[in-house]
Structure 1
Amino acid sequence: MTSKPQPKKITGYHAAAMIIAFFAVVVCVNLVMARFAVSTFGGTVVDNSYVASQKYNKWLEQARSQASHGWSVSPIKRVEDKAVMTLAQADGTALRGADISAVAEHPVGRTDPISLRFQNIGDGIYASIGSLPAGRWKLKINISYEGKKMTLAQDIR
């Protein structure tokens, strides 16, 4: 007659080891996730939401004023290492002679901002004078033409 092997009993030592192992895994996962969150966080949209809410009506008025110019701005594109955009007036004719500058910021703040100036290369097409490194950038664009101003933001990849 063969005897069945007896199942091992779970002792207090085993229970303590399982509980400690469980919480060790939870703490390690939390530490890893916190490290990823802190290392990839690029900042805030606004530094002070209360102050931003106070400026909201002013921003709406600026947007209405800019819309009244009737200018249309094409989505900004990358051509080789230059940022290129097309500007048109309300009647569809090319907007020539505008003064355009921009600040290119990396979306997660990994590099310093880059200042760009644009020049008209023909029929309302403007190209950046300086080069824009490869990658994704958020451009804050300022356009001035005959005393009128427009400010906009566009992404470029």
Structure 2
Amino acid sequence: MTMAVDHKSPRKPRQITGRTVLFSLIAFFGAIAAMNAVMIYIAIDTFPGLEVDSSYKVSQRYNKEIAKAKAQAALNWSVDAVIERNGDGSAHIRVIAKDKAGAPITGEAVTVKLHRPTITAADQDLILSERSAGEYVANASGVGAGHWNVIVEIADRNDKALPIFRSKNKTFFAE
């Protein structure tokens, strides 16, 4: 019995040259830089990281903010906000406002701002209507599960630019 023997010489291993190493390093770090650029773009697009547009301008109003907080505390109002979220993503918002004597606060402009801490696209600003004396209501849609900032503002109906009362709270809605 005869066996066929392959007389070809074995293939020489490919040599690593300086050019191969250079292109490999450029490709490796290029892929990392491209992925970092994509992740930075996505992060900035979904969460700009800004609470206010200009911290300098806000700092210039600091003393006015303190005066407004003192004036609000002197009012001694009782303002309760209740948000009931339904399974379909809608929510019923109810604000009950009473003065320091317990009398209902009527005839004011009441707004509720529902803001996501991380996704500004889901933010909603709602104007509540007065259902009965001191009770203001509104409905919202698209209120997803998760963390929300709830800002309740009460302003004079004739001068909505200056809120008389402002409260900022955080809430969590489960699935």
TM over 0.5: yes
Structure number, greater radius of gyration: 2
Higher strand share: 2
Report the secondary structure of 1:134's partner residue: coil
Aligned to 1:23: 29
The yes-or-no answer on 1:50 pairing with 2:56 is yes
4+ residue stretches of structure 1 with deviation over 6 A? none
Match of 1:118 among 118, 126, 129: 129
Aligned mates of 2:113, 2:103 — CA distance in 1: 24
Match of 1:82 among 60, 68, 92: 92
Segments of structure 1 that go 5 or more residues without pairing to the other structure are 1-5
Displacement of 1:70: 0.7
Report the secondary structure of 2:66's partner residue: helix
Tell me the C-alpha RMSD between the 2 structures: 3.5
Aligned mates of 1:33, 1:110 — CA distance in 2: 19
TM-score for both structures, normalised by structure 1: 0.68
Aligned to 1:99: 108
Deviation string, structure 1 residues 54-76 (Cα, Å, up to 9, x no partner): 11000000000000011122244
Aligned to 1:132: 140
Give the aligned residue type for 1:53.
Answer: S
**Residue 144 of structure 1 contacts residue 150 of structure 1 at CA under 8 Å; is this kept in 2?**
no
The yes-or-no answer on 1:11 pairing with 2:29 is no
**Residue 139 of structure 1 contacts residue 154 of structure 1 at CA under 8 Å; is this kept in 2?**
yes
Aligned mates of 2:97, 2:84 — CA distance in 1: 16
Aligned mates of 2:141, 2:79 — CA distance in 1: 22
Displacement of 1:48: 2.1
Distance 1:112 1:90, change over 3 A: closer
Displacement of 1:116: 1.2
